[in-house]
Chains A and B, each alone.
Chain A
Amino acid sequence: MRNFKTTRNLIVIVAVLCGTGYFRMPKEQKFMEDLRERKIAHPQIDSEIWSKMGQTSLAGTFGGLRSVMASFMSIGAFDHFENNDWYKLEKDFEVITALDPYNAYYWNTGAWHLGWNAASWARRNQRSEIETALKNGNEDFSPTKQRLLEMEFLEKGDAMYREGLKYNPASEELWFDRGAMWSNEYKRPDLERAAEAFRKLRNSPNPVYRRRYLLTIARIPGREIEAYEEMVRLVSDSDPRHFSTPTFRVLVLILGSNPELPDGALRPPVDVVYNNNLEKAYEELYNYWDRIKNDGFYAGNYKVLMKQLIDRLKVPDSLNPFVTEPKRPLYPSVWKREFEKRDRDSSAR
């Protein structure tokens, strides 16, 4: 009798749950879809990621602690960074970002570890291996092969930025850091990719982010006219902070000096840009020499601009980059010292 009752009860319970579930299920699905569309609910975790999860994260996820697990895992993943265990770190961040994909911070941190830290580690490692190979006279050694490791991490970092941007397209930090990675002179710059990322920040409220597109395309040969147009757009921003940046001030002059610009194009004169402070203008243009040579910035009519200032300011040969190759940046103190030296020499003569 007791067994009959238990069986009957179980049948009734299952039947009622199934019956009510039938009506409940579409409503729950609709609610979930609505939450997911509004990015309140997380997307489903891919089956590939399930297999990469450890027991703890799996239990945490099942227990409804996805975000909490992601927080703890991101703190734990720091150990892999300290131990240069990059593949484990990559695996951890794949899980972390799958657990909390709408948190741009995790994508950014993962990409930073892979694209910046791991790639730098690979480069340093590569340099020491080259040195050892040269010391041992190992002719089979291929630096190209070694470079692949660095490129692998850069690409992994880039992939993480791109994936993160799919979930967080409004994250300015992700766009900026991706662009910064590809425009970093100490890595393997790919300015087209950097420009692609910085382009998204042209209307950012942050003026530093807004300027980066201009600063990047000014380094890409063939995009000078586009850079000029971007410069004009930023000037029309009327944000005084742009003009507090030396490179921006110089670019206003340099891009405006492009001989290929159509007639009537805005070509701001040096006196206007520098508010008649020609010494400042010379100092910054002198320092731009290094930007042209090492960073590949557009040269425009640099020579003409410089020669005009050299004549007007009667610059000594020691500060003339066409006579004395610049070795270090020109600071006001150096400027003052060299001018005093010139005056002393001329009075002695």
Chain B
Amino acid sequence: MSRQASISFFSLRRILIVAQSTVTQLVRMKVFYFLAPIALLFVGIQFLDLIWYQGAETLQPEQELRMHKNICLGTMMVFSSMFGIVATALLIPGDIEDRTLYTILCKPVPRFDYLVGKLLGVMAVIFIAMVVMDVLLVATLHFRTEEKLAEATQVWGKRGLTEVEIAAGRAEIAAHGPTLILQYGVMAHFLKASVIAAVALLISTFSTSTIFTIATSSMIWIIGSFQSVAREALFTDPISGGDPNMAERIMNTFVSLVFPDFKLFESITDGAVRAENVLHSDMTQLGGLAAIYVGIYVVLSWFVFSDKEF
């Protein structure tokens, strides 16, 4: 039996080693320095008055908390998605450039393990960054919520509201504070960033330049955000205008079939910001969907990468 044949197709240990080295590689690129301005922003908005239309009669604490969450989660989404694209796009060309790839592939490391390890490494770094940002978000939001609760309780007390009414109002404000639903929103951003990273991985396997990978992945990110518009045109009646013609139908079908739907991920985050009733089952479905996307892109990446010559 040849040595090649004795190597198992998939080894978790090998994948974890590649992932670990990817994390080290990215940390050496000083990616976590990005967190400093983000931390500044999160702490900075704590002191910003986010509401214009506010007076004694228009107390809007929920709205202020919503704006706080919107800005923080928006920043997290941009950071994680951008990072997913750029980090993944840099990895394979980087490995070729510094010849690490040859060292790895000449060892008994199947290309599939290498790709999965690389992706897992990127996802791990995104995850760590998300955790740090999440801690910052929860901390700043907690202080703001407490501040708003105290303010509102004082105003309602002066207005002569009963204790039951004050308790109901407080519960409404607290629902916009750091809750489990908010964590679902953060998780949805992480899942979206993972899918984007997998897309970038697929493109980087056949791309010849980093810029091409970054540009194409960014375009897919944008198209993915309105893929649902194309898909819904196939399933539902148009809101306005006439029925789509044949060319539009073909276009809509192509976009719906080929591109991922990022709107689903964004919807969960939007719902979480509004403190809507996002269910655990929604997260399970979203997680499943993200796993399917990542699975498909990884398998396709492996297909392209398996016979790539260096």
Contact = CB atoms under 8 A, between A and B. Distances in A.
B285 A31 contact: yes
Contacts of A78: 52
Contacts of B228: 28, 32
Contacts, number: 146
B240 A42 contact: no
B289 A31 contact: yes
B276 A40 contact: yes
B240 A67 contact: no
Given A12-B303, A32-B263, A44 B258 contact: no
Interface in A102-119: 102-103, 105, 108-109, 112
Interface residues of A, number: 56
A241 interface: yes
B232 A44 contact: yes
Nearest to A239: B162
B37 interface: no
A39 B258 contact: no
B190 interface: no
B42 to A, nearest CB: 14
Given A17-B258, A21-B258, A64-B263, A40 B221 contact: no
Interface in B44-91: 50, 52-53, 58, 60, 63, 66-67, 70-71, 73-74, 77-78
Chain B interface size range? 35 or more
B83 to A, nearest CB: 14
A48 B240 contact: yes
B202 interface: yes
Interface string A236-249: 00000100100000
Contacts of A64: 77, 192, 225, 262-263, 265-266
Contact of A41 (B53, B263, B285): B263
B258 A102 contact: no
Contacts of A41: 263-264, 267, 270-271
Contacts of B160: 241, 244
B150 interface: no
A206 B57 CA distance: 13
Nearest to A60: B74
B221 to A, nearest CB: 7
B135 interface: no
A205 B166 CA distance: 11
B278 interface: yes
B257 interface: yes
B7 interface: no
A235 interface: no
Contact of A109 (B53, B232, B268, B304): B53
Contact of B296 (A9, A20, A32, A241): A20
Interface of A: 5-6, 9-10, 12-14, 16-18, 20-22, 24-25, 27-29, 31-32, 35-36, 38-42, 44, 46-48, 61-68, 70-71, 74-75, 78, 100, 102-103, 105, 108-109, 112, 173, 205-206, 241, 244
